[in-house]
């Protein structure tokens, strides 16, 4: 019997007894008192049970807002002005992150402000449509290679600068969560994050991740604004990873591939494809990453492609081979506010280039430090023909350049 009905019954019994025209005898009064006592005990028991029950409240739909502010101190071998000043200290990025779930549909987005541009890194809706499957729609991540990054340092790996690491485009991605030791990502991307070859943007280089923006005829400079536009469209991408446990940790073996078309704003101008195999192993405190693959942009008469990112145009060979070898060691520490350290060495090389330019390689030795809301990278870079280290992937320098870099960020 519900608690409210018990209370109403007790009140009714008392009212009927007091208002009865016939005076009950002693036995009837005694019996009535027993019934009332039992009823009172039952009411008290029900009240106690209700107090013990957890209060069930419906989740309130909400969007969480977070972000980060990061700064960079750098000292380089290739910039005389920088060396004369003893290095430069500047704002790296101010970013805002948005996440939430309303009515079963989730949202993830990240907006970034730089001194020289603003960019959206990703922005997509997601929905868990089956036990182990999720669909993401919008500006979402292209599945390729070691995940989430083929690197440990602030500089990413050499694959980032050819658009094959941490790249985000407009499309739909189906993700199978890790279950039964394997996972799968399948995506279709209509075009890049800025609307493709004829997207209505002020500059096609104002973006976070590298994408193809044009062809590079022989007479055109490697840093020029491309005169022959190109854009990716109708790209299919897939990534498979098999995970297994072993003594001391876990390892993932995987394979990735993508293929799509290139458009010049008027008609189809070519095709492109890429593939890679990768290994990501965690053995005790060690992490080991290996990756090897190739990419090919097939445009008639073109051996060099223009790419854009960070408000800057650069060039890459239309076809090349790429290999990476990265190792890291993780430590839990108590050094003042610092509670975790990761020591790493990331090496990447791009070679067998279709434009016959010299090999690109980069070696980053560094340590990342975590201290509550603070996170920093301390990197020492040696590189040749590497973007942001005094060169270009389409460069022909024989000189090894160096960069000391300290990136310090507060996350909220």
53, two tokens? 């029950």
d(CA 367, CA 379): 7
231-246 and 249-263: which strand pairing? antiparallel
DSSP string, 150-196: S-SSTT--GGGGGT-SS-EEEEEEEEEEEETTEEEEEEEEEEETT-S
| pLDDT number for residue 55 | 64
Mean pLDDT by runs of 10 across the 412 residues of the chain is: 51 50 61 72 73 66 92 96 95 97 93 97 96 97 98 98 98 96 98 95 96 95 96 98 95 98 97 98 98 98 97 97 98 95 98 97 98 97 97 96 97 96
Q: What is the pLDDT of residue 41?
A: 74
pLDDT score recorded for residue 261: 98
CB 158 within 8 A of CB 150: no
pLDDT at 34: 74
**CA 153/CA 366 separation, integer angstroms:** 7
> What is the C-alpha to C-alpha distance for residues 167 and 158, in angstroms, rounded to an integer?
13
Percentage of the chain beyond pLDDT 90 is: 84
pLDDT at 11: 54
Distance CA 42, CA 40 (A): 5
Q: How far apart are CA 141 and CA 173, in angstroms?
A: 8
DSSP-derived pairing of the beta strands 338-351 and 360-371: antiparallel
Helix runs in 270-354, H state only: none
Cα separation values, 19 from 16, 88, 200, 346, Å = 5, 94, 85, 92
* Cis peptide bond upstream of 350, omega within 30: no
What pLDDT is stored for residue 398 in this prediction? 94
As a whole number of angstroms, the distance between CA 35 and CA 13 comes to 9
3-state DSSP call for residue 32? Answer: helix
Structure letter (DSSP) for residue 114: -
In angstroms, how far is CA 178 from the centroid of its own chain?
A: 17
| DSSP code of residue 49 | H
7 burial via Cβ count (<10 Å: 0-12, 13-18, 19+) = middle
Q: Rounded to an integer, what distance in angstroms lies between the CA atom of residue 217 and that of residue 205?
A: 19
In a 13 Å sphere around the CA of 36, the CA atoms on its Cβ side amount to 14
> Residue 16 burial (CB < 10 Å; 0-12/13-18/19+)?
exposed
Tell me if 188 sits within 8 A of 171, measured CB to CB: yes
Phi, psi of 364 (to 5 degrees): -120, 120
Q: Please tell me the distance from the alpha carbon of residue 241 to that of residue 33, in angstroms, as a whole number.
A: 74
- 383-394 pLDDT, tens digit per residue, is 999 999 999 999
Which pLDDT score is estimated for 15?
47
User: Residue 261's closest CA among 202, 206, 191?
Assistant: 191
Q: Which two tokens stand for residue 315?
A: 């060039």
Instruction: Please tell me the distance from the alpha carbon of residue 196 to that of residue 212, in angstroms, as a whole number.
Output: 10
**Residues in the chain, total:** 412
- Burial readout 180-210 (b: 16 or more C-beta within 10 A, e: otherwise): eeebbbebebebbbbebbeeeeeebbbbbbb
- Residues 135-148 have pLDDT tens digits of 999 999 999 999 99
Instruction: Please give the structure tokens belonging to residue 227.
Output: 């005169």
- Two tokens at 330? 């993780």
């Amino acid at each position: 019997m519900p608690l409210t009905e018990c209370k109403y019954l007790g009140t009714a019994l008392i009212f009927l007894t007091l208002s009865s025209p016939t005076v009950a005898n002693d036995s009837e009064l005694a019996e009535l008192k027993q019934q009332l006592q039992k009823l009172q005990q039952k009411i008290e028991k029900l009240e106690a049970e209700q107090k013990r029950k957890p209060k069930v409240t419906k989740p309130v739909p909400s969007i969480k807002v977070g972000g980060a502010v990061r700064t960079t101190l750098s000292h380089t071998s290739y910039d005389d002005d920088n060396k004369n000043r003893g290095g430069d200290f500047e704002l790296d990025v101010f970013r805002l992150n948005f996440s939430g779930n309303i009515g079963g549909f989730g949202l993830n987005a990240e907006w970034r402000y730089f001194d020289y541009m603003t960019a959206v890194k990703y922005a997509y809706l997601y929905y868990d449509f089956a036990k182990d499957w999720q669909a993401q729609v919008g500006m979402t991540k292209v599945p390729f290679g070691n995940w989430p990054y083929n690197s440990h340092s602030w500089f990413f790996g050499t694959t980032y600068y050819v658009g094959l690491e941490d790249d985000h485009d407009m499309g739909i991605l189906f993700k199978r969560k890790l279950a039964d030791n394997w996972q799968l990502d399948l995506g279709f991307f209509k075009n890049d994050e800025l609307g493709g070859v004829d997207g209505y943007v002020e500059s096609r280089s104002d973006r976070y991740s590298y994408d193809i923006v044009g062809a590079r005829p022989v007479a055109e400079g490697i840093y020029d604004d491309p005169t022959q536009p190109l854009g990716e469209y109708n790209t299919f991408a897939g990534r498979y990873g098999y995970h297994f446990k072993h003594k001391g940790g876990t390892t993932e073996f995987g394979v990735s591939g993508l293929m799509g078309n290139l458009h010049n704003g008027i008609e189809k101008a070519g095709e492109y494809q890429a593939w890679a195999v990768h290994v990501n192993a965690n053995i005790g405190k060690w992490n080991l990453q290996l990756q090897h693959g190739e990419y090919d942009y097939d445009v008639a008469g073109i051996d060099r492609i223009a790419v854009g990112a960070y408000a800057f145009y650069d060039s890459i060979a239309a076809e090349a081979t790429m290999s990476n070898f990265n190792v890291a060691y993780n430590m839990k520490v108590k050094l003042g506010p610092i509670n975790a350290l990761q020591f790493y060495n990331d090496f990447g090389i791009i070679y067998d280039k279709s434009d016959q330019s010299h090999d690109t390689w980069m070696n980053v030795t560094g340590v990342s430090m975590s201290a509550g809301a603070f996170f920093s990278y301390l990197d020492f870079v040696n590189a040749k023909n590497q973007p942001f280290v005094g060169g270009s992937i389409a460069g022909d320098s024989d000189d090894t350049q160096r960069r000391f870099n300290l990136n310090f960020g507060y996350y909220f």
